[in-house]
Amino acid sequence: MLAKRIIPCLDVMDGVTVKGVNFINFRDAGDAVELGDRYSREGADELVYLDIAASHEGRKTFTDLVKNVAARLNIPFTVGGGINEMSDVDRLLNAGADKVSVNSAALRRPQLIEEIAAGFGSQVCVVAIDANYEDGRWLCYLNGGRIPTGRDLFQWAAEAEERGAGEILFTSMTHDGVRGGYANEALSTLSETLRIPVIASGGAGTKEHFRDAFLRGKADAALAAGVFHFGEISVGDLKAYLAQEGVNVRT
């Protein structure tokens, strides 16, 4: 069995890491490059950088950040935010990113997944899905959780896999930032129905929540932000705990 991965996520706005609750109410969490370097030294398996205020004007700033991160890190990292076409993917990979995360653009034009997979390989294409639990269904949202689509989480994840996605990054908007645990039932369904890795996101508050995402949610990786950024859990301590709980992690 492949080792489970721990992935700190850095939401970046104007070069600064921020953290919100339920996709709103953001606060400053520190310098994006310095935090990434710290997590790398603590034993993180990968990192995710998301430009949450991606715009045409901000792309140069974010590209420069990616270059700075690549110069400091020796672990893989994924970047996302404002990726709408192949030239965006090419620009970020050339800046040093290992993978790209696509969300809204893929929902609007699913062929983008096929294009990335064909042009750069499926391993480069992470399809991020923001979904909220409403009236007994998990429904997908666009634009950082702002626009409902009516698309079903599980149907869209299956289509993304079919089109060539290498991984699914599922963020529960319902659980995001409230630190009550991951959406383990939905994660388990995704993990059992998909052939590609599933990354859990949204809801980490304790070490037990990570354990449950792996053992109950059957996730391949667990992503978190605030608990790492604000020093509540260190990556090293978390991995030691998970190993004691019988979770196969890289140490």
Is 33 part of any domain? yes
Q: What is the pLDDT of residues 10-56, one digit of tens each?
A: 888 766 676 554 444 444 456 888 889 999 999 999 999 988 766 55
Q: How many domains does the chain have?
A: 1
N-to-C CA span, the chain: 15
What is the pLDDT confidence band of residue 230, given thresholds at 50, 70 and 90?
Answer: confident
How far apart CA 189 and CA 186 sit, in angstroms, is 5
Catalytic residue among 45, 51, 88, 130: 130
Residue 68 tokens, joined: 């700075």
Is 251 part of any domain? no
Q: pLDDT at position 178, please? A: 67
How far apart CA 125 and CA 38 sit, in angstroms, is 26
Q: What is the pLDDT of residues 91-128, one digit of tens each?
A: 999 999 999 999 999 999 999 999 999 999 999 999 99
Is 250 part of any domain? no
Q: Residue 202's domain is classified under what CATH number?
A: 3.20.20.70
Is 10 part of any domain? yes
How far apart CA 220 and CA 214 sit, in angstroms, is 7
Is 84 part of any domain? yes
Is 249 part of any domain? no
Q: Span 164-179, mean pLDDT?
A: 88
- How large is the angle between the packed helices 207-215 and 184-193, nearest 10 degrees? 30
Nearest partner of 167 among 48, 37, 35, judged by Cα: 48
37 is catalytic: no
130 is catalytic: yes
Task: Give Cβ neighbours of residue 20 (< 8 Å, ≥ 6 apart).
Answer: 11, 26, 27, 176, 177
Instruction: Name which residue leads in pLDDT, 139 or 226.
Output: 139
77 and 104 Cβ atoms separated by less than 8 Å: no
Is 189 part of any domain? yes
Cβ-based neighbour number of residue 113 at 10 Å = 23
Is 34 part of any domain? yes
74 by DSSP, 3-state: which?
Answer: coil
Domain extent, residue 203, equals 5-244
